[in-house]
Structure 1
Amino acid sequence: MYNYIEEQFNKVIQQYNPTDVRSLINDSRCNLYYANLDEETGGCTVTNNRCHTIIINDNWEEAYQKFVILHEFSHVKLHKGVNAPFFRSLALDRFISKTEREANEMALRLLLYINKDSLNGLTKYQKLDYLGLPYKFERFLAVEY
């Protein structure tokens, strides 16, 4: 069965071979800024003339920041030209949850890949503990590394 997320993940790994979150963002020529966002917003991406700027809430814990950075990066790679306000303007809210789930899955795959040496032999819950993420993220652990 065709798996778009896995295909895009493999392209990212082949193209960038990421060893940490910051190097992936730098190598992909995305800009990264930290800002004082409201407590509900982890981050967002602004795209202008094919230049992607990821904005992260500097009040959130570092573990969540890394996940949000990769979540936003995943939107850039998976959902070119598509964003939540676009879907809302068309009254297509059902697609928002699909794109968010896809971005979460790819972000977690990237975190697992980047940390694979440290996660070897751990259970899925131990991996989430190591990454500083809540157990509710277990549903996005589609692949074991």
Structure 2
Amino acid sequence: MDELINNLIKKYKTNCPFEISRALGIHIRFMNLGTGTKGLYYRKLRRRFIVIHNELPVEWQRFVCAHELGHDRLHKGINRFFLEENSYFAPGKLERQANAFAIQLLTANTAPEQDESHQGYYQRLGIPPEVRLFLQD
């Protein structure tokens, strides 16, 4: 996964999931997905889409875009929904992989500053607080 992320960043000169998605030809849409669904990824007629719940805070929209981009890159041919099921990390190997992809992409080429806690580091990078709860300090 590290090599995949590094190649994306090198090719597109950014770790912004919105810019990378657009450069890959993935259509990004924002709409009300109701409660419990933050985003989804799907393919239709050879077109790829990331749909993000439009009422999410900006930091969550960014994380969800990175998460769904992870599904596109890691789980080709599988339509995935980023669901909230009793926690912010839905169970399952594919969801854990997409979360790991999102965190690695959003933290790429950065490191905690001297004496900065991991929580402070993730906050500075705009990783949502609910996601930070599951990261090791």
TM-score bracket for the superposition, by shorter chain length: 0.7 to 0.9
Deviations 1:31-84 (A, max 9, x none): 000001112100001202332110000011110110000100110000001245
Q: Give 1:1-145 correspondences, 5 Å limit.
A: 5-83=1-79, 97-113=92-108, 116=110, 120-121=112-113, 122-130=116-124, 131-134=126-129, 135-139=132-136
TM-score when normalising by structure 2: 0.77
- What residue ranges of structure 2 are gaps of 5+ in the alignment? 82-90
Q: Per residue, is there more helix in 1 or in 2?
A: 1
Higher mean C-alpha displacement, 96-105 vs 122-131: 122-131
Q: Distance in 2 between matches of 1:49 and 1:11?
A: 27
Aligned residues: 123
Is contact 1:16–1:28 with CA below 8 Å preserved after alignment?
A: no
**Going by fraction, where is strand more abundant, 1 or 2?**
2
Conservation of the 8 A alpha-carbon contact between 2:32 and 2:54: yes
Are the aligned partners of 1:31 and 1:53 in contact in 2 as well (CA < 8 Å)?
Answer: yes
Question: In percent, how many aligned pairs have the same letter?
Answer: 26
Question: Any conservation in 2 of the 1:16–1:24 contact (CA below 8 Å)?
Answer: yes
Backbone CA RMSD of aligned residues: 2.3
Structure 1: tracts of 5 or more residues without a match: 86-95
| Partner Cα separation in structure 1 for residue 23 and residue 118 of structure 2 | 29
The structural deviation recorded for 1:19 is 4.7
3-state DSSP class of the match of 2:92?
helix
